[in-house]
Amino acid sequence: MAKSDRSKQRGYQSILAAVDFSPQSSAALQMAAEFTRQSGGHLTALYVEDPSVGLGAAAAGYDKTLLRKSNLHQLQRLMERVVRSTGLPPDAWSVETLVAKPAIAIVKFANRMSADLIVMGTNGRRGPAKLFFGSVAQAVLRRTPTPVLVVARSQPGRATLRPQKLAILGAIDLGRNDRTDANPLARAAGLLGGPLTLLHVVRRVPDLLGTPALVDPYHHGQLNDARKRLKDVADRVGAGSLVRLGIPEDEIVAAASEMKAGFIVLALRSGRGLFGPRQGTSTYRILCASTTPVLALPPSG
């Protein structure tokens, strides 16, 4: 049975939380524990140490075996603190550590354990820091065949699930496959337990001539067509609909903030970056600006 079929039938029961002991990853771990408790599944907390860090520790005289034991001990203590706040039973969670390239190891480990969901935090680096250090979350998004829930960098305290149903914003492109694309967004909203609003953003045409009035009729027509099409798509999956004009990543973040959404849900697009953006590029831009957790679904097919 394919992973997507399994997730559809039994929900997010096999969950992998990638931890680096930052406040963001601790908040992500708490969210993962809440999901696990609610679904009755199993949670694995994974810490991956980059080999370059291990080499530095070895050069400083640290024993690799002792270092791994120390990492496991820290992860165990972190899980115990999280479990106390969520009530997750002892047999519902486990911990593991690896020495490997983090993003590659996380994706491979998720495949090996047949995870239904990867949960992780991110600092959302931008500018020079991102050029030097990159982002594990972005690298995972580029490779993953598994849904990834990323806790936003700015407000880790928002990661705890609340008793009431949280509004869910599903970003969608309109086109030949929009009705098919809406189905996994609706299924994800069902698993998250909140009402879904589908959002499509009509990309604003740059005002190159300095005469906005000449462009407005074009935007007006695009917006009207998009509203009709999106309402039809949304009605088929029992969702609300919202159309906005602007830069898609900016409008998605703004709409989620305005409606106080608990989650943003969107589908990753396949791409290798040679003549277009790589998979996860737009999603990572949203993560850099958003304070709302983002659930990224792998490309279909």
Q: What is the pLDDT of residues 82-132, one digit of tens each?
A: 888 888 999 999 999 988 899 999 999 999 999 999 999 886 554 444 433
Q: Tokens 């491979």 label which residue?
A: 108
Convert the pLDDT of each residue in 5-25 to its tens digit: 444 445 688 999 999 888 888
Asked if residue 152 has pLDDT above 90, the reply is no
pLDDT of residue 132: 37
pTM to 2 decimal places: 0.84
Q: Tokens 């970003």 appear where?
A: 171
The residue with greater pLDDT, 104 or 301, is 104
Percentage above 90 pLDDT, the chain? 50
Residue 260 reports pLDDT greater than 90: yes
Tell me what pLDDT residue 128 has. Answer: 44
Tens digit of each residue's pLDDT (9 = 90 or more) over 38-75: 899 999 999 998 877 555 555 444 556 776 788 899 99
Number of CB atoms found within 10 A of residue 134's CB: 13
More confident residue, 268 or 169: 169
Is pLDDT at 2 greater than 50 in this prediction? Answer: no
Q: Distance between CA 250 and CA 99 in Å, rounded?
A: 37
Q: What distance lies between CA 225 and its chain's CA centroid?
A: 30
**Residue 283: what pLDDT?**
85
Tokens of residue 92, six digits: 């519902």
Q: Which residue has the higher pLDDT, 261 or 54?
A: 261
Give the H or E element holding residue 251.
helix 248-258
Q: What H or E segment, with its residue span, contains residue 182?
A: helix 178-192
Query: Model confidence at 275, in pLDDT bands (50, 70, 90)?
Result: very low
HSE-CB at 267 with a 13 A cutoff on CA atoms is 21
* Partner residues linked to 197 by β-bridges: 169, 240
How do residues 192-249 score in pLDDT, each as one tens digit? 989 999 999 999 877 544 555 555 777 888 999 999 999 999 999 999 999 999 999 9
For the chain, give the mean pLDDT: 82
What burial letters (b/e) apply to 240-271, b meaning 16+ CB within 10 Å? bbbbbeeebbebbbbbbeebebbbbbbbbeeb
- Which residue ranges form the domains of the chain, and what is each CATH number? 8-153 (3.40.50.620), 168-267 (3.40.50.620)
Backbone torsions φ then ψ of 267, nearest 5 degrees: -100, 135
pLDDT value of residue 157: 46
Does residue 173 carry a pLDDT above 90?
yes
pLDDT score of 212:
54
